[in-house]
Every structure is written in structure tokens, then in C-alpha cells.
Amino acid sequence: MVTFVDTVTLHLRAGKGGNGCVSVHREKFKPLGGPDGGNGGDGGDVVLVADPQVTTLLSYHHSPHRAAGNGGFGMGDMRSGAMGEDLELPVPVGTVVKSADGETLVDLLVPGERFIAAAGGQGGLGNAALSSPKRKAPGFALLGTPGYEGSIVLELKTVADVALVGYPSAGKSSLIAAISAARPKIADYPFTTLHPNLGVVQAGDARYTVADVPGLIEGASEGRGLGLEFLRHVERCSALLHVLDCATLEPGRDPISDLDVILAELGSYEVPEGQIPLLERPQLIALNKIDVPEARDLADLVRPELEARGFRVFDISTVSHEGLRPLTFALGELVEKHRVAAAVEAPAERVVIRPKGAVKEFTVRVEGGTYGNVYHVLGEKPLRWVLQTDFQNEEAVGYLADRLEKLGVENELFKLGATAGATVIIGEGNGVVFDWEPTMTSSAELITSARGLDSRLDTNTRRTTSQRRERYHERMDAKAAARAELETERLARRDDLPAEGE
């Protein structure tokens, strides 16, 4: 059964915003009560909270699908919909949140730190909020937008001051049990430790945490054994303690060769950008199991070579507790020195003020299509407006056109050569497809002719006053000639009639 999980994929769905309401106030003797439709409620957010009481991501391994509450619909009489309930997910301190494609979103290092992993949808405005002096009684309301729906990756990296590294069965679990109140599983077989164990050590005035990392073997950085899976828990440690087994009975192994293998694996592991490589951090060596006579002799033999390499070496026994006090005080000194340096080097938080309008709210991308160019309008605001529009309501569609025109979408389309009837898509991929019909402004006509063919310079075909007068006289003369011809025919028919009495 899985008891420890440090990587999990969460599938999140934030709450959907509620639709706005279309309503008109009706009351006796008040025939023109006006619009009173309320707004829809916003959808709930999915929030990650760094909780010191949580030590594993096991609960999310079993239930990876989480959803927040939806917002309520608006109602008449100015009643707004209920806000969707937020969903708070406690995660261990030291959890790194990444997107599905591996981009780091946030690193939750401070207890109580909060991060909105999935933002809820926005509630739609009711017709009361949409009324204006020009639109006194809107017959439409805005729809609620859907919340974020997607996946994120949670990766736990243990937050500890000192990491115990070494071969399996080197005595790391026994050491953390001896110097702290932690009680990890201890047994005489490889890979007893299947997940990191944390212990708090008090050495004089220094108080720090120690992490027991599962044993490393040769090739761990390439995926052999359990080392690669848990090397991430060494990243946050300020100091490393190499626990070397001086009483091993395995052929071909000794403290020097074990140390070389561990250093090679630590050097092959790539830490995130901006962090100190593992081998450049302070390191101490503990020669363990000196309660065994042969192990003590071996420790005396290898100590000079290790000290010649620049390491501080401590002979310890987790059984008799020999040498543990000097070791814990030495580790405390390293931790305190690192904390002081980190406090001095910590840069002051910079406040960045970004004026509104500094960033363009949309872009238009031109793509070639079978029947001409296709214009993709990209941007958070145009896409949100489209999602809020009820396309079954002509008044709502007109309101969308007004909003897009005020945002400058039409001017941008004209600059890129779009003509009436061009295909315009709002949003990525298929999006929402329109056959564009440009809006004519009252200030001037928008020119759609090609360069060098300004339609305003074309010959004016409107008739002048003299031309209209000449045309009028021509019509009058034609009418007079027609009347004279009719009169001549009438007289001729009269002359052809027999005289009276003949």
C-alpha cells in the first residue's frame, strides 16, 4: 500500500459564474418600473494552502479530481446570485506547483502561503447593471463565464536544514532516531527507508531539521534504485551529512569508495536554476558503526585521507550514541551560518506598478485560408466578452459588437486589410467564427480600397444643377412633342369622319 507520495497530478475545475437575470420591475400603478435583473455570482476558486501539519500528498493520489462550487444565477428585484464556495486544498510546506507542461507556477515555502491554482468564472451582469441613458431597458443579460479547468502537478521537496545521504543500510535512519524524536522504520535490509523522514534536532541554542533521504546507489541520478526519485528532497537543504558505513560486509565496498559514488551521483543531479549545486554546499562526514571493533579500526584508517580532501570527519555510533553530541553541534553551526548569510543576502521585495493600459488587451493574427485570409482575434477580454454573449438574443449580439468596436478591434482589422465578409475568429483554435460586417462611424467613412486607389478621389457622379435643369427641359420638350403628336392624330381621325347628312 502506498504510504508516501511526493508527486501527484491534480485535475482541477473551478466554479462557473452564474448568469445575469433579465427582469423588469412590475408594480401596480408603476407601468415603467425599469430593469431590475440582478447579477450572477462568481464561481469558486481552487486554492492551495501550505499547511505545516500535512506531510504527504497521499490524499490527492487517491482523489486527484477536485472541483469548486458554481455561482448562483441572478434574480429579479435586484437580487444577485450566491458566490461559489472556494475549495481550499492543504499541501505540505515545500510543495512546488507546476503546470501540465512543466512550467513552475509557485513554490510554497512559507506556512500559510496561499495560491489560487484555478480561478473561478466571472458572474454575468443583469440587465439592471447594463442599463444606461442610451439603453434604458436592456432586453438581455450577460452569461457567466466558465472557470479554469485543467491539470497541475504537485511536487513535494522536503524543507530541511540538513540532509543525511549515503548508501542503503548505512545507518541514516538510526542516526535520525538517535538525535531527534523521529521514529523511522529500521531494519537490516536494503531500502528500508522508502520515503524521507524528518526530525528536529536541538543542539544548544540551535534548532534545526534533519531529513533522512532514501539510500543512494551507483547510477541513482540515471534512475537506478530509489535515489533519483528522492534526490529532489536534498535540493532545499543547506548542508549535507555523508553517513558512511564502516562495518559493511559487502565485497568491494569501503567508506572511500562509497563516498566517491555518492559524490558522483550528487554532482550528476541538476538542481533548479538559481540554486547552489549540491557539491558546493557545506558537507560533513560521519563514520558510523564504530561500536564494532573492526569498524573503529577502519575509521582510524580512512580518516586521514578524508581530512586531506577537506572534510570534517566525526566517528559516531548510533547504538552507543558515541560522538553524536559533537556532530549535532557542528551541524548546528553550519545551519546558523547559512541562516545569517541568507538573511543578509535576501533582496528587498520590489513593488512593481503597472499602469492600466500599458499592455495591449488584444492582438490580431492573420492566417491564410482556402477562401481568403482568416483573422484570429486573441486576448483575454475579447474572449471573455464572447463567452458572456447570448447569441440567441440580437440585442446582446449588438452589445458585443459595440464593445469590440470601442476596444479597437475593428480599426485593427481594417489596418490588416480585412474587408466586409471576411472570416474573423475570436479565441485560439476554432474559437467563435464570425462573418465580419464593419461598423461605419459618424465621423468619417472607413476606407477599404487598396493603396493608391482612394475611393474618395473617384469622379463624382452626382448631377449638377444645370444638368438637372437640362434634363428637365428635355423631359418637358418630349412631353410637348408627344402631346402635339396625339393632337395631330386626333384631328386626322376627325377629318376622316363623313360629314353630317351624307
| 212 in a known ligand binding site | yes
Helix axes 255-268, 293-308, angle to 10 degrees: 50
| 176 in a known ligand binding site | no
| 458 in a known ligand binding site | no
Contact 108, 48 (CB under 8 A): yes
| 15 in a known ligand binding site | no
Q: How far apart are CA 449 and CA 135, in angstroms?
A: 34
| 213 in a known ligand binding site | yes
| 233 in a known ligand binding site | no
Contacts of 462 (CB under 8 A, 6+ apart): none
Nearest CA to 427 out of 71, 145, 39 is that of: 145
Torsion of CA 4, 207, 262, 173, to 10 degrees: -50
Contact 203, 129 (CB under 8 A): no
| 290 in a known ligand binding site | yes
| 191 in a known ligand binding site | yes
Contact 437, 418 (CB under 8 A): no
Q: How far apart are CA 376 and CA 367, in angstroms?
A: 8
| 132 in a known ligand binding site | no
Q: Nine-digit cell at 380? A: 483575454
| 423 in a known ligand binding site | no
DSSP assignment of 199-250 equals: EEEEETTEEEEEEEPPPP-TTGGGT-TTHHHHGGGGTT-SEEEEEEESS--S
Q: How far apart are CA 294 and CA 419, in angstroms?
A: 90
| 148 in a known ligand binding site | no
| 439 in a known ligand binding site | no
| 173 in a known ligand binding site | yes
| 472 in a known ligand binding site | no
| 389 in a known ligand binding site | no
| 288 in a known ligand binding site | yes
Integer-rounded Cα Rg, in Å, for the chain is: 41
> Cβ of 265: how many Cβ atoms within 10 Å?
23
- DSSP annotation of 50: E
| 172 in a known ligand binding site | yes
| 289 in a known ligand binding site | yes
| 169 in a known ligand binding site | yes
Q: In residues, how long is the chain? A: 502
| 194 in a known ligand binding site | yes
Contact 426, 434 (CB under 8 A): yes
Q: What Cα–Cα distance (Å) separates residue 65 from each residue in 94, 155, 483?
A: 22, 17, 93
Helix axes 324-345, 172-179, angle to 10 degrees: 80
- Binding residues for GTP, by number, are 166-173, 191-195, 212-215, 288-291, 317-319
- Binding residues, by number, are 166-173, 191-195, 212-215, 288-291, 317-319
- Binding residues for Mg(2+), by number, are 173, 193
